[in-house]
Amino acid sequence: MDASIRSIKKGPILVIMILGAFLATLNQTVMSVAIPELMTDFNITAATAQWLTTGYMLVNGILIPITAYLMQRFTTRQLFQASMFIFLAGTIVSAISVSFPVLLTGRMIQAAGAGIIMPLLTNVILTLFPPEKRGAAMGTMGLAIIFAPAIGPTLAGYILENYKWETMFYGMIPLTILVIISGFVYLKNVSEPVRGKIDLLSVLLSTIAFGGLLYGFSQAGSAGWSDDEVLIAFAAGIVALGLFVWKQLTSGNPLLDLRAFKYNMFSLTTVINILITMVMYADMMLLPLYLQNARGYTALESGLLLLPGALVMGFLMPVTGRLFDRFGAKWLSVIGLIITIGTTAGFINLTDSTSYTYLILMSTGRRIGMALLLMPIQTAGLNQLPNRLNAHGTAISNTVRQVAGAVGTSLLVTVMTDRTKTHLTKLMTSGGAGSSSQQQMINDATIQGINDAYVVIIGIAVLALLFSFFIKRVAHSTEGASDAALKKTVAKEA
């Protein structure tokens, strides 16, 4: 590692950037709880209100692939401060919104800033720490990725019960300003910018590809997989993705260097990352639906149920990082997935009388399992890449997580919806209408549909477990070593 990098005080840089990432991630989750109130305030449908989360995800997914170029073109300080200023502008616009279009605009501006922060933080950790010490740092970063979404619904539920929804945004303004001021004082540059032209065609193809796929998956859950709009989005996304991949592999200076996939452990962990991201969305999406729609719990009660797991996870993430530095990712991932599968099995027989305490215990158990595997799997893959591919590997990893989240959400919604219809039909044809009210039958069918979705999640987790047995501790590839060896071989042959 370069002597100038070793002399940098890492603590202040990490604290500032993790706080920025925490605010960005927290902001992504708080709106889902506020949607019912916003529907009333703005007199809009649920499908329209859902754009507050769908639009945010789309902007994130479109911007993240471009961050590899941005991280090479601008200094750490320039890029982080710019992203926080953009996030602040979006927060202010959202706070003073008097109509839904203004609020949606504010959310999408926020997303433009937030989409840069997380890949940048990961890249800074890869630059500041050698491979044998990255686990602990990545574990600490995991607090922002996991802890913020877990406490988001609880915090939003409390605010909505006691204050207006605008308070969520007004509360973020002083915190964001504090991070910006701290950045001017303590943030140091950890890399030198490399000037180069941006490939506008690749940017266009990337936008259509990832935007189309994310939109298609996000709409498929509610509109159905055969909907014309969904099919057009998928078709455009797939064609653009194919052209984007071809352009990156044939370009001398790609926007997103897909040659990172020639490193076997990075490729394997990327596949596992897709699977476990889909598994993780079970708690974020299915459990609140069960609690609020089928059981009648409030948003605050629903959020509070996830809080113990979030606290335990927050404690375990740095510990897991240190264990990764010592033992590697394989057995942490295997143990974590076994715990996740075992506790998820506790959700496949939910009823209308399942106790709140039981749900807390099972949900917390899932969080323990996820804490053991999330950061180790991502770090194991990134550790194999040479330094020149750090920014590209980080962008690929974060892009994959966005797409996997959209796939997981739409898949679970589809399974739950289809199975709910099937169970409702069975209940009605079996003579249940005489002994139960129609609303009770709908609740029972919904719960059974959610149970079936959890079975699918177990199947995905088992597949991830099988792949995890192939994880190995591999050496960090040195800068351009393979390319240099190839050039030398070619020169000899010539």
Q: Are 105 and 86 in contact (CB under 8 A)?
A: no
Distances (CA, A) of 455 to 215, 343, 422, 460: 26, 12, 16, 9
pLDDT at 427 over 50: yes
H-only helix segments in 282-329 = 287-289, 299-327
- Per-residue pLDDT of 156-192, as tens digits, reads 878 888 888 889 899 999 999 999 999 998 888 877 7
Q: How far is CA 49 from the centre of its chain?
A: 21
Note the CATH architecture for domain 8-189: Up-down Bundle (1.20)
Q: Count helices and strands (H / E) in the chain.
A: 21, 0
pLDDT above 80: residue 463 = yes
DSSP assignment of 318-337, as one string?
HHHHHHHHHH-SHHHHHHHH
Q: Report the pLDDT value the prediction gives residue 360, as an integer from 0 to 100.
A: 92
- Secondary structure string (H, E, C) spanning 114-183: HHHHHHHHHHHHHHHCCHHHHHHHHHHHHHHHHHHHHHHHHHHHHHHHHCCCCHHHHHHHHHHHHHHHHH
Q: What is the CATH number of domain 256-494?
A: 1.20.1250.20
Rounded Cα distance, 145 and 378, in Å: 12
When mean pLDDT is compared across 12-21, 173-182, 310-319, 348-357, the lowest value belongs to 310-319
Tell me the range of 3-7, 94-98, 399-403, 413-417 where mean pLDDT is highest: 94-98
Q: How close are the terminal C-alpha atoms of the chain, in Å?
A: 35
Output the DSSP codes for 430-493.
TTHHHHS-HHHHHHHHHHHHHHHHHHHHHHHHHHHHHHHTT----PPPPTTHHHHHHHHHHHHH
Would you kindly state where each structural domain of the chain is located, as residue ranges? 8-189, 199-254, 256-494
Per residue in 336-346, pLDDT (tens digit) is: 999 999 999 99
**What's the rounded Cα separation, in Å, for the pair 105 and 52?**
9
Mean pLDDT across the chain:
83
Residues 17-30: pLDDT tens digits? 889 988 888 887 77
Q: How far apart are CA 72 and CA 392, in angstroms?
A: 10
pLDDT at 64 over 70: yes
236-271 pLDDT per residue, tens: 999 999 999 999 888 888 888 888 899 999 999 999
d(CA 56, CA 101): 13
The answer, yes or no, to whether residue 488 has pLDDT greater than 60, is no
Among 54-63, 245-254, 478-487, the least confident range: 478-487
At 487 the pLDDT is 39
* The two domains 8-189 and 256-494 share their CATH topology (first three levels equal): yes
Task: Choose between 486 and 227: higher pLDDT.
Answer: 227
Residue 361 has pLDDT above 90, yes or no: yes
Q: How confident is the model at residue 151 (pLDDT cuts 50, 70, 90)?
A: confident
Asked if residues 468 and 333 have their Cβ atoms less than 8 Å apart, the reply is: yes
Among 310-324, 346-360, 463-477, the range with the most confident prediction by mean pLDDT is: 346-360
Ranges 62-66, 138-142, 324-328: which has the least confidence: 138-142
Q: For residues 294 and 443, is the Cβ–Cβ distance under 8 A?
A: yes
Residue pair 254/202 in contact by the 8 Å Cβ criterion: yes
How many alpha carbons lie under 13 Å from residue 180 in its C-beta half-sphere? 16
